Each structure stands twice: as C-alpha cells, then as structure tokens.
Amino acid sequence: MRQIDHNKPVPITREIHWVGFYDQSANLHCNPYLLIEDEEAVLFDPGSIPHFPIVMRKVIDLISPSDISVIIAAHQDPDVCGNLPVVEDVIDRSDLLIAAHMNTIRLIRHYGVKSTFYPVDEKDYKLTLKSGRVLRFIPTPYLHSPGAVAVYDQKTRSLFSSDLFGAIYDNWALFAREGYPQAMDSWHQLYMPCNQILRHTMEQFEQLEIDRILPQHGSILEGERVKEAIDHLKNLACGFDLIDAPSHD
C-alpha cells in the first residue's frame, strides 16, 4: 500500500499531481489535479472557495501559479469551479484560458470570471499545449449537466472524468481499493439521470486506452480497476430508473 502524505501534492504520474483537500470528516472528497508540461501547466476542476487556500498552497509547492495557462472546468458546479475568480487573480496572467463546453461557460460567467473562455465544442473538442501535447474533450452530456465533459490525455492514457466514477463513502483513500465499484453506486444513483445515458458514455470510454481514471470525487482508479468500474456503471440503474422501481421493504 502506498504511503501518502495528503498535506502535500501527490504525484500520480511524472506530470500529473493531485492537489486536493483531505477532509477526514467528509464522505465526499474533491480532487483538483495539476498537469505540468514543460513550463506550462493545466489545472483541472480547481474546486470550491473553502478549499482554495489548500489547493493553491499545493500548487505553489510545485510551480509558480503564473505557469498555469489553462483551467479546465468539466462543468459548472461550485465544488468544481466555485473558486475560479480567486484562482485567476492569483495566477494573474492576461492570456489565461478557461476551457469548458459552451453550455457550461454560459453558467460559469455568473461566478464573475474575467479570463478568456475556450469553448471546447467550438474547438473540435481539443486543446493543444505549446509543447504539442493534445488534450481531448469527451462530451458526457447530462452526466450530470448538459455541458459536462471528460478529458483524455493520450500521452499518459489518463481520463479526467469529473463527476463520473465518483463515490460517497467512509474511509476514503486517494487510490481505489477492492470493492470500490459498489461505493460508486449511491453517488451515481443520486446524481446521474438514467442508465441509458450512463451506458452510452461508458461505451465511449471503452473505445479509449485508459491506464487510469482521475475522478473529481472519490478515488483514482488504475490498471484492472478501470475496466471493472466501467463495466459496473454500464449496468447500474440510476436516477429516473429508480423512480418507479419496486420497493423491497
């Protein structure tokens, strides 16, 4: 078992780091990630206002905030990007991009963001960094917002899945343990609309070569746990499926 100091940034690969907040009292953890590529960096789902001091301290442990050229917001929820105006003030660069789907940008504007938006649906669902590294945006509509996206980094075969593959559970661990698929059930049953939409997206993910899944909530999945989790969610009834489900009381 890995020995992890949650008070520090945690390397996931050489370029990708977890910069989240470990809250022992919470059953729902938020996981911002930082990708460092040469002298450029990308911040994924930077989090909420209460988490800002911890997230930014961990970023500063790794880089100068001004090295961040792109912030990716997979959707508009406050736990995902409520701290955007504060983060952009600390980064303090005029060419900072906020990458999101237009259906998300329409709502993020209400946080008071000043930076330039990069509407991924108008940019062929791709973002190319200065090094030539390409990040692919995968639409995951209605999971659980119209403009929701996941991000695939082909170089490390990493899928930043935002709310998908998240979990609410006691005894949280940054890296998924045995039995994690069942821990995902309540989160998806509460927040995802129905199995038909969930299955469609899981089938898209099956077409990718994925070494790890980095969700915005819950635990990171690696190796064989990736396929196990995708197979589990493909068959999970959720949302509307459960409204008229027979009671077993």
* pLDDT tens digits, 131-153: 999 999 999 999 989 999 999 99
Give the CA angle between residues 215, 46, 4 to the nearest 5°: 60
| Calculated CA dihedral for residues 229, 157, 108, 115, nearest 10 degrees | 160
Q: What is the pLDDT of residue 2?
A: 66
Q: What is the pLDDT of residue 1?
A: 52
**pTM summary value:** 0.94
Burial state string for 210-225 with b = 16 or more CB within 10 A and e = fewer than 16: bebbbbbbbbbbbeeb
Rounded Cα distance between 164 and 55, Å, is 21
| Domains (range + CATH), the chain | 10-242 (3.60.15.10)
Environment class of 106 (CB within 10 Å of its CB; exposed 0-12, middle 13-18, buried 19+): middle
Q: Residue 181, by phi and psi: left (phi above 0), alpha (psi -120 to 50) or beta?
A: alpha
Q: How far apart are the first and last CA of the chain?
A: 40
Question: Do the bridges between strand 158-162 and strand 149-153 make them parallel or antiparallel, or are there none, so unpaired?
Answer: antiparallel
Q: What is the pLDDT of residue 134?
A: 96
Q: What is the pLDDT of residue 6?
A: 86
Give 175-214 as a DSSP string: B--TTHHHHTHHHHHHHS--HHHHHHHHHHHHTS--SEEE
Digit-by-digit pLDDT tens for the chain (249 residues) are: 568 888 899 999 999 999 998 877 766 778 999 999 998 999 999 988 988 999 999 999 999 999 999 999 999 998 888 999 999 999 999 999 999 999 999 999 999 999 999 999 999 999 999 999 999 999 999 998 999 999 999 999 999 999 999 998 878 899 999 999 999 999 999 999 999 999 999 999 999 999 999 999 999 999 999 999 999 999 999 999 998 765 555
